[in-house]
Amino acid sequence: MASHIVGYPRMGPKRELKFALESFWDGKSSAEELEKVAADLRVSIWKQMADASIKYIPSNTFAYYDQVLDTTAMLGAVPPRYNWSGDEIGFETYFSMARGNASVPAMEMTKWFDTNYHFIVPELGPDVKFSYASHKAVNEYKEAKAIGVDTVPVIIGPVTYLLLSKPAKGVEKTFPLLSLLDKILPIYKEVIAELKAAGASWIQFDEPTLVMDLESHQLEAFTKAYAELESSLSGLDVLIETYFADIPGDAFKTLTSLKGVTAFGFDLVRGTKTLDLIKSVFPSGKYLFAGVVDGRNIWANDLDASLVTLKFLEDVVGKDKLVVSTSCSLLHTAVDLINEPKLDTEIKSWLAFAAQKVVEVNALAKALTGQKDEAFFSANAAAQASRKSSPRVNNEAVQKAAAALKGSDHRRATNVTARLDAQQKKLNLPILPTTTIGSFPQTIELRRVRREYKAKKISEEEYVKSIKEEINKVVKLQEELDIDVLVHGEPERNDMVEYFGEQLSGFAFTANGWVQSYGSRCVKPPIIYGDVSRPKPMTVFWSTTAQSMTKRPMKGMLTGPVTILNWSFVRNDQPRFETCYQIALAIKDEVEDLEKAGITIIQIDEAALREGLPLRKAEHAFYLDWAVHSFRITNVGVQDTTQIHTHMCYSNFNDIIHSIIDMDADVITIENSRSDEKLLSVFREGVKYGAGIGPGVYDIHSPRIPSTEEIADRINKMLAVLETNILWVNPDCGLKTRKYTEVKPALQNMVAACKLLRSQLASSK
């Protein structure tokens, strides 16, 4: 029985690639040094899988930024603003597209389906001149072959690539992107020909858009694409991989009818209904890559249950046509439990990171051939039983409190217009009030202080003194810049979710459980293993300390329940909404304590609310109902004069704007500039928004500093569709990933633009 891994984490067990990238971007190391780190990581990954007896090992899943950008490079689809010469795409052009540079902005970044991973959105139009401009897929295949590992090259499929793209600036929004299929397929043919010449026997095309709600013409594009590629693919075994959800019946029929395709991969963790389709209409003679090991969570596989599923599938497709696989790329999970020596032993026994999942895949494949490792399966069964019976998982009081939420929609008693009036009387803010989203740059010194405090190398008194000094510095800087509503900069927090999880019951934490979010940005998701509650206040001390340093309003900064949920590894033994309601009650306690302590503006970030939206429209309403309800639970008890803010970033919000309104926040700050001000289109189309709103005026994920004129132009575009009295001015997102040399001039220009427009508005009255 064969085994397969869809993809593997790139950053390395100790984030080696992250540090190499940042060193290269800072000019401290060369391209050759970066390439050496990357090559060493790739080789170690391939050898690890080969040592685990994985038959189908992926290559070309390693990316310096993301796999969609890699495909853009392969196709030579570089927007003209980057002045690309037309040669093989190198780091300068590649990273300019990803991050922008001193003269031009980056391309749009958005979430990869419903994950916390991001990709750079291709910008396409009728005039794009495609060319084979990056030979990375072939080079990596050859690199693996040189060390004796025959891999399966992985490429984003042509139809998915186009469906994830957007019309470039200046191109009609209605431009049919699928009309470019005939222009990109010749490049795919060139890549295929080179892979065949290099000795590849398999190729994997990732076509995850097949799990979406697709129209008939979109499904027809798959048929057309693979019919056109059929002759080029002759002599190769071809795997089409799907993941993240059930595949709809019409898409399943299209997929399994594709010409030249010999194997189909399905997510059987998040797509259990696909089993019925396989049972009824799976084509004979084709391979089934059965994704039974979860690539998106960190819980150990229930090996006995998976074996039952695999034996059922074996009867359907045949013993020699079944391949055990992961549900999706392991990119979305942490790297290796071996790097967690301090993790609680019982909880650790319940977990499997990427390295352990590779072992699980192989163990299941061997078990199907009669080589079952009885000791391994027995230990797995014991861990499953331990988790079900552990008293640390269940808290009866929390369960009762969450159950009592049913029957109320938890809305504040007064409407938002009346609340804003009451808040303005208390806050006395100018028109176009300025603020930032929460975090300020995390300096090397600040990270050292937190690290030494955790390692008990400095006392609590020394730690508090250092953090207070950092807060004071951030407060004074904002006052000098003349920002209206301040933040404390979050110096006590390494991560907005981890910080809260560390103070809530039911959470566990890793030392090295890093997961890539985008580029060099890694997050360390907490593990929600049990019922959630708040033992004591979490932010009140720091918020009141910061407020005591200024007379200007200071925002209390919290992470909302939906974002904590979506940015954690969540328990899979109860529905997600039940866990979310428990978190909401914990945040509600914190909100009310902040209000009692005199904090008049409280921001409850829901950056990941859109991210959790199911991929299929039929499931949207249920998710949005409990997600929005969870947010309202957090602040239903505050006074009218307490202003509740929320923040969202890096997703397409236009299709959920009515749910955003239904959250009933007083002010929302929302990403806008990097997505080419796409958000504003909903207001142009007539959506009425009565609460305060701050569409971001500049992209914080780029080192580029926007001019005063550029920001003023953005604000004017907002004023064309939004009322002056509800508009706020702020960056797209938090500033923790930037340097002070970038933050100070950018915020200076933001405030200057705001004052310029205030002056113009005053003189026009």
N-to-C CA span, the chain: 77
Tell me how far apart the alpha carbons of residues 559 and 608 are, in angstroms, rounded to a whole number.
10
| Beta strands 287-293 and 263-267, pairing class | parallel
Q: Are 616 and 213 in contact (CB under 8 A)?
A: yes
Tell me how far apart the alpha carbons of residues 142 and 137 are, in angstroms, rounded to a whole number.
9
| Token couple for 743 | 């933050």
The answer for residues whose C-beta is within 8 angstroms of residue 464's C-beta and 6 or more apart is none
Does residue 671 have a known ligand-binding role? yes
Does residue 202 have a known ligand-binding role? no
| Token couple for 133 | 């401009």
Quick one: which of 384, 353, 326, 295 has its CA closest to 510? 353
* DSSP letter (8 states) at residue 654: G
Does residue 723 have a known ligand-binding role? no
Angle at 25 between CA 6 and CA 466, to 5 degrees: 100
Does residue 370 have a known ligand-binding role? no
Q: Are 698 and 745 in contact (CB under 8 A)?
A: no
Report which secondary-structure segment, H or E, holds 31.
helix 31-51
In 206-302, alpha helices (H): 216-233, 249-256, 274-281
Does residue 551 have a known ligand-binding role? no
Is 488 known to be catalytic? no
Does residue 388 have a known ligand-binding role? no
Does residue 521 have a known ligand-binding role? yes
- 111 - beta bridge partners? 118
Q: Are 693 and 653 in contact (CB under 8 A)?
A: no
SS3 264: strand
Does residue 438 have a known ligand-binding role? yes
* HSE value, Cβ hemisphere, 13 Å, CA-based, for 3: 22
Give Cα separations from 747 to 80, 106, 703 (angstroms). 29, 19, 13
DSSP secondary structure, 61-103, as one string: ---SS-HHHHHHHHTT---GGG---SSS--HHHHHHHHH--SS
SS3 299: strand
Looking at 487-595, which runs of residues are DSSP E strands?
Answer: 505-508, 515-518, 521-523, 527-533, 555-559, 569-570
Say which amino acid occupies 202: W
Q: Are 754 and 718 in contact (CB under 8 A)?
A: no
Tell me how far apart the alpha carbons of residues 619 and 623 are, in angstroms, rounded to a whole number.
7
Q: H/E/C letters for each residue in 567-619? A: CCEECCCCCHHHHHHHHHHHHHHHHHHHHHCCCCEEEEECCCCCCCCCCCHHH
Does residue 662 have a known ligand-binding role? yes
* DSSP letter (8 states) at residue 88: S
| Token couple for 355 | 């390295």
Report which secondary-structure segment, H or E, holds 308.
helix 303-317
* DSSP letter (8 states) at residue 429: P
Quick one: which of 492, 465, 432 has its CA closest to 760? 432
Tell me how far apart the alpha carbons of residues 255 and 156 are, in angstroms, rounded to a whole number.
15
The answer for residues whose C-beta is within 8 angstroms of residue 397's C-beta and 6 or more apart is 533
| Token couple for 127 | 């005039």
Task: Count Cβ atoms below 10 Å from residue 42 Cβ, excluding itself.
Answer: 21
Does residue 488 have a known ligand-binding role? no
Does residue 328 have a known ligand-binding role? no
Does residue 605 have a known ligand-binding role? yes
The answer for residues whose C-beta is within 8 angstroms of residue 209's C-beta and 6 or more apart is 159, 160, 163, 164, 218
Does residue 580 have a known ligand-binding role? no
Tell me how far apart the alpha carbons of residues 136 and 763 are, in angstroms, rounded to a whole number.
57
Tell me how far apart the alpha carbons of residues 738 and 321 are, in angstroms, rounded to a whole number.
50
State the catalytic residue, choosing from 4, 488, 629, 701. 701
Tell me how far apart the alpha carbons of residues 217 and 628 are, in angstroms, rounded to a whole number.
34
Say which amino acid occupies 689: Y
| Token couple for 467 | 């953090």
Query: How many H helices and E strands in the chain?
Result: 27, 22
Binding residues: 18, 116, 437-439, 490, 521-522, 567, 605, 647, 649, 658, 662, 671, 733
Q: Residues annotated in the binding site for 5-methyltetrahydropteroyltri-L-glutamate, as ranges?
A: 18, 116, 521-522, 567
Point out the annotated binding site for Zn(2+). Answer: 647, 649, 658, 662, 671, 733
Q: What positions carry a catalytic annotation?
A: 701
Q: Binding site for L-methionine, residues?
A: 437-439, 490, 605
